Structure 1
Amino acid sequence: MKKQKLVLVGNGMAGVRCIEEILTINPDAFDITIFGSEPHVNYNRILLSTVLQGGTTMDAITINDRNWYEKHRIQLYTGETVAAIDKEKQVVMTDKNREVPYDHLIMATGSTPFILPIPGADKEGVTAFRTIEDCKTIMEHAKPGEKAAVIGGGLLGLEAARGLINLGMDVSVVHKGSYLLERQLDQTAGKMLQEELESQGMKFLFEKQTENITGTSRVEGLLFKDGTKIDADLVVMAVGVRPNVQLARQSGIEVNRAILVNDYLQTSDPKIYAVGECVEHRGTVYGLVKPLYEQGKVLAGHICGIEDQGYEGSVLSTQLKISGVEVFSVGQFHEDAASKAIKLYDEVNRVYKKLIFQDHKMIGAVLIGDTRDRTRLLDMILKQKDISDFEKMALLHPPNENGYSVAAMPLSEVICNCNNVTKGAIIEAVQKEGLATVEEVRKCTKASGSCGGCKPLVTELLTYINSDECNENISQKSMCPCTSLTEDEVVKEMQLLGLTTVQEVMGKLNWYNSSGCDICRPAVEYYLGMIFPEFENKQEIHLENERVNAISQTNGTYTLIPQMYGGVTSAEQLRKIADIAMKYEIENIAITSEQRIHLLDVKKELLSAVCADLNMPLSSTYGNMVQNVKTCIGEHVCQCDKQPSLRLAVELEQNLEFLKTPYRLKLGVSACMHNGAGSTTKDIGVIGMDRGWEIYLGGSSGRIARSGELLTVAPTDEEAFEIIMGLVQYYRESANYLERTWQWTERLGLIHIREVLFDPELRQELLKRLEEDLAMRKKILVESDSQ
């Protein structure tokens, strides 16, 4: 099929990233031509400040060199500007009289620096800070010991000021506002940042408006509207940018503040798309990297024929490192009549945290000095999670300073927000590819390749990976020494080849040891049971304990556990148990932490008689299956109503009884925030709250306790039941054998698990398959009991 012609106007970060996405989806769909006004290949404009500051070189900020364009057969024209678009003929014309036809056109014209329209703005020594040429101009004019004035106290201005200080200049920052970074910080954080930068040598003039740039042919100083003035040998204007819409406007494309686009980034002409800083979507113009990359991904999918919900806008978050100071902000960070804030202000360690809440949901945050919780906070805002009062205060607690901070992060936590690169992805890349430097990590994963704000974290993670403390090896390993295949590969081959017995699996898949081992045999049996539920019919019944649910002990005796769903019993049941114990002289009787009675040391020859006289259903949680649900019944802590939690626990236990799982699955249902069942350290934990049920995932009460992560808040008993049942089934279907819930959660990511469970159709499919599995399992138990 003949390739369509695709033209990109603009060789910047957003446009070329969009082309990268297109090449990933369908590398052979288009003949691609790119025009760039600058005489350079695609480079990272955000990192120009690091060049100015002497932290890196021009070559180091190149994103794609000319070899990349040649490799993908892209025709690149640098130093050439598209001057006109003929929409009828579908042709672009350049300032070098070149005409190029297109089937689809992408406009990524970016922004232009705003130069204050004041007298003297055209003098020698006055420059913007936007391009490589601007950077070179500043470096050429900067003289140690001379005075520089930076107009603008935003991010770009502060970065320029830091660079000028590094070049030996005496730097003053002129800002019309009352504190720094008003768009990213509140006043407290802005003042803290100011104090830190002043300690590094920066000077600040607030609430100043420049009236005139003094001097003859060359700049000599600034005159302000209040009559004051300062001397300056170099002036850098960093007062903002404006979307570059000139080409779109003169070509008849609809423009407001920027080029108007729909959810698929199409302009008023459906053959012409736009992406990046030149775009206005639903009334918003974005200037940060992550939203622009998100736009590019949607555009690429649509132009390649992939239908989705389109671009719905972005929650703005800013992760910065300004002269060594960590700064993060997201969402709404100023209180109003409908919102409240909780704050931590640690003057000793120079740490400030402010979290904004509305109706138990976080809507914004500001962090300065310690931003390690940024990913978790961003996830809470994006998912609109309900957050308890206890959790709110816990969010402000300082992190553990022992060892590496990255060690405590789950594998699913995002390290690089711009490119959505997780901790696990970086560890896997380092282990598989033998990466040794941050630069190698950037080239392989793109982490730290955009705004650069995560570079310190990537550096720390790389150091941690290479330390003795790191025991997180996520490179794919074979199931066991009997085979070279991973567990995922074994399961895939079992399904593709229709293997239905352990012997078939080991024979057809060329097991080194034809009889397997203690690692692979139970794993293969579990997977066979998941893929082919009827497989269990073919297995031998496991002694009599599979039929009557007695648990065999190492001393040859058995333990019987009369079934008490949720720990609830009756006087009649207790009397019967006591009579049986007296009749058969069962001396060892215990009540466990799960509120169950255990009849211990029942002799084998008495087993059948005891079970016949007892004539009660027995509980057995032997092996990898759902354990008895832990509940809280005592009234000594509080007087809350325990009945709803008991009903939920009973319903869950009755419906999950005898269900096989990859690993032992412990559940706890607590009636209230006192957490009497220890729900936060269970695989799946539930806590009753005034707004419903908090559901936690991935806890562990072993030697090294782990607190589960809040999965969601279910407003009703019915929804809580459905989410938990669906969660159990998804764990059964997608976890590796013997993989704990916390390991499974880290591997898949909490966000992914939520996306599955919150999708009504997917959840109903999980519940349907779970019901079928339970029916099959109960049928097997009935048949085995009748034998």
Structure 2
Amino acid sequence: MTIVRAATGQTLVICGHGMVAQRLLEKLVEQPQNPFEQIVVFNGEATPAYNRIQLSAVLAGDASEDSLQLQQPDWYQKHNIEVHQGDPVVAINRAEKTISTESGLVQPYSRLVLATGSRSASLDLDGEHLEGVMGFRDLQDTRRLIDISQRQRRAVVIGGGFLGLEAAEGLRSRGMAVTVLHRSSHLLNRQLDRASGELLEESLTDRGLSVRTNTSPVALLGRNLVRAVQLDDETLISTDLVVIAAGITPNTELAREAGLDCDRAIRVNAQLQTSDPHIHALGECCQVENQTFGLVEPGYQQAEVLAQVLCDPDSQAVFETSIIATRLKISGIPIFSCGQTEADADTESVVWQDYETNRYCRLLVRNQRLTGAVLFGETSDGPWYSERIQQADDISSYRAQLAFGKHYCEAA
């Protein structure tokens, strides 16, 4: 049954309720002027916005589901924000400025924000449809993985990036025998150089993970349930579960069907506006020039800009892509990465390593400017190195002390 809601004043509709959409709501209610009489959020998930970064801690048994919630229910009531859980938007009518939801609700909008996020990328392998093959993106995935870990013994995780390693470590901590397959030469190849990637592999292997780099699966085998993974060297690995964590695909279907300009993701300008002036997009589903975003930090920056743009027609706020630092903990091991991670013909490397404590630091320098930093095992100086990279300071006066961190450099 279709229920058409009446338009009442200026209405902002938000499709999606992840971490970035929630940050947008929080920034909107902080604005000195808010033109919207109604803010309506349609969430495809049955759970209100939660901290996805902590899903790996829930999987590992180190955090509870309750600890994930970003705001209490009364926060939305207090700010007159209407949230519809488990009712995703399925169509946009740009001519009439309405959206339709799965339950048959038709909601008019003055401004529409697409925060539809992304999903695990498909590898187009034979057997991806089999039961026991899944991604690790949301709370529902996490619950399923916990359930399977209680009944099954073996898992293969495809992808040695952050998400894949988090899934692997969580399943290992629940007692499963886990093999990680990674097609690059070292783990976390986007964040780490080869030496630190190998240090990470050693540490994870010592904890009980099996890691195979320079390895790609060619097929997933089984009749109804997945039973094995076939590798490119003809090896077969028996398994009860396959987790695919080899990148993400932005959710653009809604925007494409509405005729919005899309490339790899939904194209937006520096004010997060799509090809339709009444529709904006932000987070993992959007693309600014040639760049898409898989981390939450740029999404938060976009939310701050978009809140100003939506509330002030004359706002000059723009989103600028910047060098984003990555600060992670994999199985309790701190890792920091910012800027360039591998040397080129124009850069010099400053490397410091302590074999006893398993600490490693690599700094990349070009024309007496810091262009990259990779830290493993001890990351407290990471934000200071990140600042030097962003500001492009001349480091000549403390170049000799650079590897020893902020306090030595400032003393010099």
| TM more than 0.5 | yes
SS of equivalent residue, structure 1 residue 395: helix
CA contact (8 A) 1:3 1:28 kept: no
Q: Which residue of 2 aligns with 1:17?
A: 23
CA contact (8 A) 2:336 2:375 kept: yes
**1:66 Cα deviation after fit:** 2.0
**1:341 Cα deviation after fit:** 1.5
Q: Does 1:363 align with 2:356?
A: no
* Counterparts of 1:311 and 1:146, CA distance in 2: 46
The letter of the residue matching 2:260 is I
* Counterparts of 2:151 and 2:202, CA distance in 1: 24
Q: 1:167 aligns with which of 161, 174, 178?
A: 174
Q: 1:276 aligns with which of 279, 283, 299?
A: 283
In proportion to residue count, which structure has more strand? Answer: 2
Q: 2:383 aligns with which of 357, 375, 384?
A: 375
Q: Does 1:238 align with 2:252?
A: no
Q: Which residue of 2 aligns with 1:354?
A: 362
SS of equivalent residue, structure 2 residue 57: helix
**1:105 Cα deviation after fit:** 0.8
Q: Which residue of 2 aligns with 1:329?
A: 337
Question: What's the TM-score, normalizing by structure 1?
Answer: 0.50
Superposed counterparts of 1:23-42, under 5 Å: 23-26=29-32, 28-30=34-36, 31-42=38-49
CA contact (8 A) 2:132 2:242 kept: yes
Q: Which residue of 2 aligns with 1:310?
A: 318
* Counterparts of 1:392 and 1:122, CA distance in 2: 54
SS of equivalent residue, structure 1 residue 365: strand
* Counterparts of 2:362 and 2:383, CA distance in 1: 15
**1:27 Cα deviation after fit:** 6.7
Q: Does 1:319 align with 2:327?
A: yes
**1:286 Cα deviation after fit:** 1.2
Superposed counterparts of 1:34-113, under 5 Å: 34-113=41-120
Q: Does 1:206 align with 2:206?
A: no
CA contact (8 A) 1:180 1:191 kept: yes
CA contact (8 A) 2:152 2:240 kept: no
* Counterparts of 1:260 and 1:111, CA distance in 2: 15
Q: 2:14 aligns with which of 8, 11, 19?
A: 8
* Counterparts of 1:203 and 1:28, CA distance in 2: 53
The letter of the residue matching 2:15 is V
Larger Rg: 1
Number of positions where the alignment pairs a residue of Structure 1 with one of Structure 2: 403
Q: Which residue of 1 aligns with 2:188?
A: 181
Q: 2:139 aligns with which of 129, 132, 137?
A: 132
SS of equivalent residue, structure 2 residue 70: strand
Q: Which residue of 2 aligns with 1:341?
A: 349
Moved over 4 A (4+): none
What is the RMSD computed on CA atoms of the aligned residues? 1.9
**1:123 Cα deviation after fit:** 1.8
CA contact (8 A) 1:335 1:356 kept: yes
Question: What's the TM-score, normalizing by structure 2?
Answer: 0.94
* Counterparts of 1:37 and 1:341, CA distance in 2: 47
Superposed counterparts of 1:470-485, under 5 Å: none
Render the CA deviation track for 1:473-515: whole Å, top value 9, x for unaligned: xxxxxxxxxxxxxxxxxxxxxxxxxxxxxxxxxxxxxxxxxxx
Q: Which residue of 2 aligns with 1:436?
A: none
Cα 1:398–1:314 change in 2 (3 A) is: closer
SS of equivalent residue, structure 1 residue 70: helix
Query: Which structure 1 segments of 5+ residues have no match?
Result: 401-407, 409-679, 681-705, 709-787
CA contact (8 A) 2:384 2:406 kept: no
CA contact (8 A) 1:145 1:170 kept: no
**1:309 Cα deviation after fit:** 4.7
* Counterparts of 2:79 and 2:166, CA distance in 1: 35
Render the CA deviation track for 1:516-566: whole Å, top value 9, x for unaligned: xxxxxxxxxxxxxxxxxxxxxxxxxxxxxxxxxxxxxxxxxxxxxxxxxxx
* Counterparts of 2:137 and 2:167, CA distance in 1: 10
Render the CA deviation track for 1:461-483: whole Å, top value 9, x for unaligned: xxxxxxxxxxxxxxxxxxxxxxx
SS of equivalent residue, structure 1 residue 112: strand
The letter of the residue matching 1:193 is L
SS of equivalent residue, structure 2 residue 292: coil
* Counterparts of 1:325 and 1:302, CA distance in 2: 40
**1:185 Cα deviation after fit:** 0.7
Render the CA deviation track for 1:596-631: whole Å, top value 9, x for unaligned: xxxxxxxxxxxxxxxxxxxxxxxxxxxxxxxxxxxx
Render the CA deviation track for 1:198-235: whole Å, top value 9, x for unaligned: 11111011222212222222121111122111111111
SS of equivalent residue, structure 1 residue 40: coil
SS of equivalent residue, structure 2 residue 56: helix
Cα 1:7–1:370 change in 2 (3 A) is: same
CA contact (8 A) 1:144 1:169 kept: no
* Counterparts of 1:206 and 1:65, CA distance in 2: 43
**1:398 Cα deviation after fit:** 6.4
Superposed counterparts of 1:506-585, under 5 Å: none
**1:276 Cα deviation after fit:** 0.2
CA contact (8 A) 2:33 2:311 kept: no
The letter of the residue matching 2:233 is D
Q: Which residue of 1 aligns with 2:4?
A: none
* Counterparts of 2:317 and 2:350, CA distance in 1: 36
SS of equivalent residue, structure 1 residue 99: strand
In proportion to residue count, which structure has more helix? Answer: 1
* Counterparts of 2:399 and 2:201, CA distance in 1: 28
Q: Which residue of 1 aligns with 2:401?
A: 394
Q: Which moved more, 1:3-12 or 1:65-74?
A: 65-74
* Counterparts of 2:325 and 2:404, CA distance in 1: 21
For CA contacts below 8 A with separation 6 or more, give which structure has more relative contact order. 2
